[in-house]
C-alpha cells in the first residue's frame, strides 16, 4: 500500500507526539531536520513514498544517530500512517550497518547488512536507489547546516557519494557535487584546482591528463622532446565512447620544474628508469606519487626515490592507446582505478578522480590489489603474446596451458599473501570478447619493447622467493625471451 503525500500533516502530528520537536539535532531540532530532508527529496522529484520515508527516516534510529522514536515492535503503527512501502524504506535505512554495507552498495552483488538482525543480503536495485537518495538528502542537510560536520566529514562524503553515484538521481548527484566540493579538503590537502604532473602521457597517462584538465585542474605532462612539443601545440585529443571526443589543453615539459599536488606515473616499466630522471625528488614537494603501471615491483623503486609515505600505488582497468603523440583512442566503456593506502589520506584524491569521471576505489591492502591484477594479467599476456593468438583462441586451443598457468599465478599470489581465485579468473577469461588481445601482444606486433620482465619476470622472482613451482611460466618466459 502506498500512501499519498497528503499523509504529511498526520505524520507531523505523530512526530510531535513522539517528541521529535524536543530532540536536539545539528542546526536545531530533529523535527526541523526531518522536514528539510523531505523538502530536499521533493526538490529532487522523489515520489511520495520516498519523501515520506525521508520525513520519517529517524523513527527507529540510524547507524549514525542512535535516538529512536519508536521501538521496532511498533512498526505497524508507522506503516498505518505512511504506508507499507515508505515504512519498509524507513526500516531499511535504519537497519543499515553502514560500515559493512556502504562499500558495495552500488555493485550488482551488493552486500547489505541489517544491523538489527545481522542478516546480509543483496537488496534489489530500486531499494538501493531509494537508500542512496535518502542518504544524500540526509547527509547534505547536515553538511549544509553544520560547518564543523562538513569540515570533518566532507571528504568522506564525497567519496561515499561518488561511489553511490550510479544509484543517485542526476539532481541528487549535482547537489552532492556542489555542496561537498566547495568544502575545504581535510588534512592540508591541496585546494581545488590541483596541480597534477603526469609522467608518460600515453594511453593511460594521456587519457587521465585530458580528463583532469577538462575537470578544471592544471595538468603538466612530462615527456620526451617530440611529445612535449606536440602537447604544447595541439593539446591532447581524446576519442572515447565513454567520455566523448574532446581536446584538452595541457602544459608540457621534458622535466618537472615545480611542485605538484599529485604525480601520476604512467610510463611503461621498460622506460621507468630513464623517465624518473625527469622527476627529481627534490622538486616534487609534498605531492602524492601514484604509479599506474602493471606489475608489482615498481612501488619499491619509487619509494626508494621519493620516500615511502609519498607513494600510493594504483591499478587501472582501461583500454586506451596512444596512436600518435597527444592522440588517445580510449576503447573500453569503463575507466576504473583502485588506489591503495589509508582511506582518509586518499579520499580527496579519489574524489578528484571521480570528479573527472574515473571510477575510483580506495583499498587498504596494496599487496592484494597489485597481485590481483598481476595474477590475472600474467597468464593472459604471456599466452596471447607467445602464440600470437587472441584470448578466444587461447582459451579454446590452449585450455590446459591456460588453466595450468592461472593455477601457478594463483599459487604465487597466495604465497605472497594475496589469495587468488582460479575459477573466478577462468570465468573472467571466458567472458572476454573472443577477439581480445593483450597489450603485451599488441606491443609485440608493433615491435615495441615488452613489459615481459615486469609481468612474467616478477612472477618468476616471486615464485622463486616462496619456493612455488611454476613450470609453465618458466617455459613460456624462456620461449618469449628467446624470440
> Is 322 an interacting residue with respect to ligand NAP (CB under 6 A)?
yes
Report strand pairing: 262-265 vs 251-253.
unpaired
| Burial 243-256, CB ≥16 within 10 A → b, else e | beeeebebbbbeeb
> Is 201 an interacting residue with respect to ligand NAP (CB under 6 A)?
yes
Residues 393-452 that bind ligand NAP (CB under 6 A): 439, 451
Please work out the total of residues on this chain that contact ligand NAP, with binding judged by CB under 6 A: 29
| Residues forming a β-bridge with 324 | 327
Nearest residue to 450 via CA among 377, 375, 370, 401? 377
> Is 325 an interacting residue with respect to ligand NAP (CB under 6 A)?
yes
> Is 292 an interacting residue with respect to ligand NAP (CB under 6 A)?
yes
Q: How far is the CB of 338 from ligand NAP (least distance, A)?
A: 12
Give the helix ranges, DSSP H, for 307-419: 343-355, 366-387, 391-397, 399-415
Which residues neighbour 309 within 8 Å (Cβ) at sequence distance 6 or greater? none
Residues 211-250 that bind ligand NAP (CB under 6 A): 223-224, 226-227
> Is 204 an interacting residue with respect to ligand NAP (CB under 6 A)?
yes
> Is 160 an interacting residue with respect to ligand NAP (CB under 6 A)?
no
> Is 58 an interacting residue with respect to ligand NAP (CB under 6 A)?
no
Measured at the CA of 420, the angle between CA 418 and CA 423, to 5 degrees, comes to 175
The conformational region for residue 458 under phi > 0 = left, psi -120 to 50 = alpha, else beta, is alpha
> Is 278 an interacting residue with respect to ligand NAP (CB under 6 A)?
yes
For residues 116 and 432, which CB has a smaller minimum distance to ligand NAP in the complex?
432
Question: Under a CB-based contact definition with an 8 Å cutoff, are residues 106 and 167 in contact?
Answer: yes
Q: Which of 56, 58, 167, 267 binds ligand NAP (CB under 6 A)?
A: 267
> Under DSSP, is residue 60 helix (H, G, I), strand (E, B) or coil?
coil
For residues 135 and 294, which CB has a smaller minimum distance to ligand NAP in the complex?
294
> Is 20 an interacting residue with respect to ligand NAP (CB under 6 A)?
no
Q: How far is the CB of 97 from ligand NAP (least distance, A)?
A: 34
| Burial 283-309, CB ≥16 within 10 A → b, else e | bbeebbbbbbbbbbbbbeebeeebeee
Q: Which of 176, 266, 368, 463 binds ligand NAP (CB under 6 A)?
A: 266
> Is 313 an interacting residue with respect to ligand NAP (CB under 6 A)?
no
Which residues contact ligand NAP by CB under 6 A? 200-205, 223-224, 226-227, 266-269, 271, 274-275, 278, 292-294, 316, 318-320, 322, 325, 439, 451
Amino acid at each position: 500500500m502506498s500512501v499519498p503525500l497528503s499523509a504529511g500533516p498526520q505524520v507531523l502530528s505523530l512526530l510531535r507526539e513522539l517528541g521529535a520537536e524536543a530532540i536536539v539535532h545539528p542546526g536545531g531540532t530533529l523535527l526541523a531536520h526531518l522536514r528539510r530532508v523531505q523538502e530536499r527529496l521533493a526538490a529532487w522529484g522523489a515520489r511520495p513514498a520516498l519523501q515520506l520515508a525521508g520525513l520519517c527516516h529517524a523513527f527507529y534510529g540510524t547507524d549514525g544517530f542512535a535516538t529512536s522514536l519508536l521501538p521496532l515492535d511498533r512498526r505497524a503503527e508507522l506503516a498505518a500512517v505512511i504506508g507499507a512501502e515508505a515504512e519498509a524504506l524507513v526500516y531499511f535505512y535504519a537497519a543499515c550497518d553502514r560500515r559493512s554495507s556502504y562499500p558495495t552498495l552500488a555493485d550488482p552483488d551488493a552486500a547489505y547488512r541489517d544491523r538489527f538482525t545481522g542478516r546480509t543480503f543483496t537488496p534489489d536495485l530500486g531499494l538501493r536507489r531509494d537508500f542512496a537518495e535518502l542518504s544524500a538528502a540526509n547527509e547534505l542537510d547536515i553538511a549544509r547546516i553544520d560547518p564543523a560536520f562538513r569540515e570533518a566529514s566532507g571528504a568522506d562524503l564525497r567519496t561515499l557519494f561518488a561511489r553511490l553515484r550510479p544509484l543517485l538521481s542526476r539532481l541528487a548527484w549535482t547537489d552532492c557535487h556542489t555542496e561537498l566540493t566547495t568544502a575545504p579538503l581535510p588534512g592540508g590537502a591541496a585546494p581545488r584546482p590541483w596541480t597534477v604532473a603526469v609522467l608518460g602521457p600515453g594511453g593511460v597517462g594521456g587519457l587521465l591528463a585530458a580528463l583532469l584538465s577538462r575537470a578544471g585542474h592544471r595538468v603538466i605532462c612530462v615527456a620526451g622532446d617530440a611529445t612535449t612539443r606536440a602537447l604544447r601545440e595541439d593539446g591532447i585529443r581524446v576519442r572515447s565512447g565513454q567520455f566523448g571526443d574532446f581536446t584538452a589543453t595541457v602544459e608540457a615539459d621534458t622535466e618537472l620544474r615545480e611542485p605538484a599536488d599529485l604525480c601520476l606515473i604512467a610510463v611503461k616499466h621498460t622506460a621507468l628508469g630513464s623517465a624518473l630522471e625527469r622527476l627529481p625528488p627534490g622538486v616534487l614537494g609534498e605531492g602524492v606519487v601514484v604509479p599506474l603501471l602493471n606489475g608489482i615491483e615498481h612501488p619499491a623503486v619509487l619509494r626508494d626515490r621519493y620516500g615511502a609515505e609519498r607513494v600510493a600505488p594504483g591499478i587501472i582497468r582501461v583500454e586506451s592507446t596512444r596512436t600518435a603523440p597527444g592522440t588517445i583512442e580510449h576503447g573500453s566503456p569503463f575507466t576504473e582505478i583502485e588506489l591503495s593506502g589509508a582511506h582518509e589520506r586518499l579520499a580527496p584524491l579519489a574524489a578528484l578522480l571521480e570528479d573527472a569521471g574515473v571510477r575510483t576505489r580506495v583499498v587498504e591492502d596494496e599487496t592484494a590489489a597489485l597481485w590481483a591484477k598481476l595474477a590475472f594479467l600474467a597468464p593472459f599476456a604471456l599466452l596471447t603474446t607467445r602464440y600470437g593468438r587472441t584470448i578466444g583462441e587461447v582459451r579454446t586451443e590452449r585450455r590446459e596451458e591456460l588453466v595450468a598457468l592461472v593455477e601457478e599465478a594463483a599459487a604465487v599470489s597466495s604465497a605472497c599473501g594475496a589469495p587468488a581465485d582460479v575459477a573466478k579468473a577462468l570465468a573472467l577469461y571466458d567472458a572476454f570478447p573472443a577477439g581480445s588481445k593483450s597489450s603485451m601482444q599488441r606491443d609485440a606486433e608493433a615491435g615495441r619493447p615488452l613489459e615481459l620482465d615486469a609481468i612474467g619476470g616478477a612472477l618468476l622472482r616471486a615464485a622463486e622467493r616462496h619456493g612455488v613451482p611454476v613450470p609453465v611460466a618458466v617455459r613460456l618466459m624462456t620461449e618469449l625471451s628467446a624470440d
